[in-house]
């Protein structure tokens, strides 16, 4: 494996974690959006990652986003007769987004992103030092 492949692997991980951070941000932004029907409720989204296997010549590897899936959790139902979106019985449907889980997922994705930036930075420094060895 070439040191240049590490940039590809780290870059794919950065891209994947960026998608993960964006889905968490979307979930948190829509956590309290009400709907008058259960079908109209926002469903939390989560990315699915897939490993990209290295090819025989040593190139490749990393991770890719295989897709983004919606949660199958049923919506929360709250009785709010004065709410403008309340149905005829006075119920409002809210997303089943757990903000604590989302914040933990955001911290995990952020740390993973930082770690991959550090990997790329370290490889860059190693390559520069290797070039400096040839100058002496």
Query: What's the whole-model pTM score?
Result: 0.84
- The model's pLDDT over 47-87, given as tens digits with 9 standing for 90+, comes to 999 988 876 555 667 899 999 999 999 999 999 999 999 99
- The model's pLDDT over 27-47, given as tens digits with 9 standing for 90+, comes to 999 999 999 999 999 999 999
Supply the pLDDT for residue 1: 55
Domain range enclosing 10: 3-135
Supply the pLDDT for residue 45: 96
DSSP the chain: --HHHHHHHHHHHHHHHHHHHHHHHHHHHTTT--BSSSTTS---EEEEEEEEEEPTTS-EEEEEEEEEEE--PPPEEEE-TTSTT--TTSEEEE----HHHHHHHHHHHHHHHHHHHHHHHHHHHHHHHHHHHHH-
- The model's pLDDT over 18-27, given as tens digits with 9 standing for 90+, comes to 999 999 999 9
Please tell me the total count of domains within the chain: 1
Percentage with pLDDT > 70 across the chain: 93
């Amino acid at each position: 494996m070439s040191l240049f492949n590490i940039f590809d692997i780290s870059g794919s991980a950065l891209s994947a974690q960026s998608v993960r951070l964006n889905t968490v941000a979307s979930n948190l932004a829509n956590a309290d959006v009400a709907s008058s029907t259960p079908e109209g409720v926002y469903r939390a989204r989560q990315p699915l990652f897939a490993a990209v296997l290295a090819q025989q010549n040593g190139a490749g590897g990393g991770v890719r986003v295989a897709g983004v899936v919606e949660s199958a959790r049923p919506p929360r139902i709250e009785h709010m007769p004065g709410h403008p979106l309340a149905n005829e019985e006075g119920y409002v449907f809210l997303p089943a987004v757990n903000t604590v889980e989302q914040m933990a997922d955001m911290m995990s994705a952020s740390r993973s992103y930082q770690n991959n930036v550090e990997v790329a930075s370290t490889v860059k420094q190693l390559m520069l030092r290797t070039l400096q060895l040839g100058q002496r």
